[in-house]
Amino acid sequence: MSGHRESADDPLVLSPAVAESLGDPGTPPDVFSAVVAFLVDLREHPFPQLSLPVPGRPGMHSAPLPRDLGLVEYTVDDDADPPRIYLSRILRAD
């Protein structure tokens, strides 16, 4: 995903840090697959079941990665149709 350019109609945008980490060959395969699974789910459900607001950061949410490999922080513009999602960072458990 390194060098990934977001389309104007793509509701999901990755921060440069997230895009870089997904394109890094040093990213463990289990973390990569968990992030991809999360992104697939996030496209359909902007507020996954375990998503919680981040205290002190309006509009920011966090949700666990599959297999408890870390947390994802993102914002959702739910006034847009479809909702626009900006994936700001991944906090890995390792």
Let me know if residue 49 belongs to a domain: yes
Let me know if residue 70 belongs to a domain: yes
Predicted pLDDT at 52: 94
Let me know if residue 2 belongs to a domain: no
Let me know if residue 3 belongs to a domain: no
What is the C-alpha separation between 28 and 26, in angstroms, rounded? Answer: 6
Mean pLDDT of 14-30: 93
pLDDT over 50 at 1, yes or no:
no
Containing domain of residue 68, as a range?
12-92
- Alpha-carbon distances of 2 from 40, 77, 91, rounded to whole Å: 18, 25, 19
pLDDT tens for 42-51 read 888 888 889 9
Residue 80's domain is classified under what CATH number? 3.30.2310
**Count of domains forming the chain:** 1
Mean pLDDT of the chain: 87
Q: What is the pTM of this model?
A: 0.81
Let me know if residue 7 belongs to a domain: no
